[in-house]
Amino acid sequence: MREIIVARGLHFRYGRHAALRGVDLAVRRGEILAVVGPNGAGKTTLFRLLTYYLRPQRGTVEYFLDGSRTPVREARRRIAAVLQEPALFSTDVFGNVAYGLLLRAPWGERLRTRFVRGLRRLRIGLPPTRIERRVEAALETVGLGGFPFRRASSLSRGEAQRVALARALVLEPEVLFLDEPTASLDPESAAVVEGAIRGLREKGKTVVLSTHDPSQARRLADRIVRLEEGRIVE
């Protein structure tokens, strides 16, 4: 499998605390890679560097999505990340999941989707728009098919994490990053999230996930690396 992400010599500090100390990591197309390690090992910082949320203070992160080096702006458009603490908008579930699609859609399609959603609230039946179909499919994948009109503020933590996952899945990213995707979730939500990850493997998608649970890594991943005190140790 071809390497599509290559990180070399990543260093990052928060004040005097060294979060990452010279991390080298390569991600191959179509694999599920698990980064395991205890809390405070640097997993979240590593993910923020790999997804360009943060810049490394030393080192480089490069994407090769089409064989040659992919520009940063293009790479950002083709990846998605779900962080450990889901940040949802104060709207309904549909609005949260559709947000990225609506940003990328032509103005006319955005307007039509919002118009149709308004009529649907009045129980006026119309054929679903392209965006609605994709949102509905993503919600079904995470077991929330009946939730589009639920307010995000009414969701449990497990439901909110599943909505955040659907918001990433609906974009059909080439690489999906999941930072502790089942941490603190109820067993039902954790099982649904793990099922969605297995479904991505069947579709040949590339997934990079972090977890402090080695047994979860063994269940889900094709390859495992361990991070301790900011260094890859195996």
Q: Is 233 a residue whose pLDDT tops 70?
A: yes
C-alpha dist (Å) from residue 17 to 38, 41, 180, 229: 16, 11, 22, 10
First to last CA, the chain: 20
Q: Is 121 a residue whose pLDDT tops 80?
A: no
pLDDT digits 0-9 by tens, 161-205:
999 999 999 999 999 999 999 988 899 999 999 999 999 999 999
pLDDT of residue 102: 87
pLDDT digits 0-9 by tens, 8-30:
999 999 999 999 999 999 999 99
* Pairing outcome for strands 206-211 and 3-14: unpaired
**Cα 200 to Cα 189: distance, rounded to the nearest angstrom:** 17
Average pLDDT along the chain = 91
pLDDT of residue 85: 80
Amino acid code (one letter) for 17: H
pLDDT of residue 110: 77
pLDDT of residue 13: 97
Residue 63 has phi, psi (to 5 degrees) of -110, 145
Residue carrying structure tokens 């919002």: 114
**Cα 212 to Cα 133: distance, rounded to the nearest angstrom:** 35
**Cα 187 to Cα 11: distance, rounded to the nearest angstrom:** 36
186: its two tokens: 């109820």
Helix (H) or strand (E) holding 219: helix 214-220
pLDDT of residue 123: 58
Q: What domains does the chain contain, in order, with CATH numbers?
A: 3-88+155-232 (3.40.50.300)
Residue carrying structure tokens 């493997």: 201
pLDDT digits 0-9 by tens, 207-227:
999 999 999 999 999 999 999
pLDDT digits 0-9 by tens, 52-106:
999 999 999 999 999 899 999 999 999 999 988 888 998 999 999 999 988 887 8
Q: Is 1 a residue whose pLDDT tops 70?
A: no
CB 207 within 8 A of CB 193: no
pLDDT of residue 127: 67
pLDDT of residue 122: 54
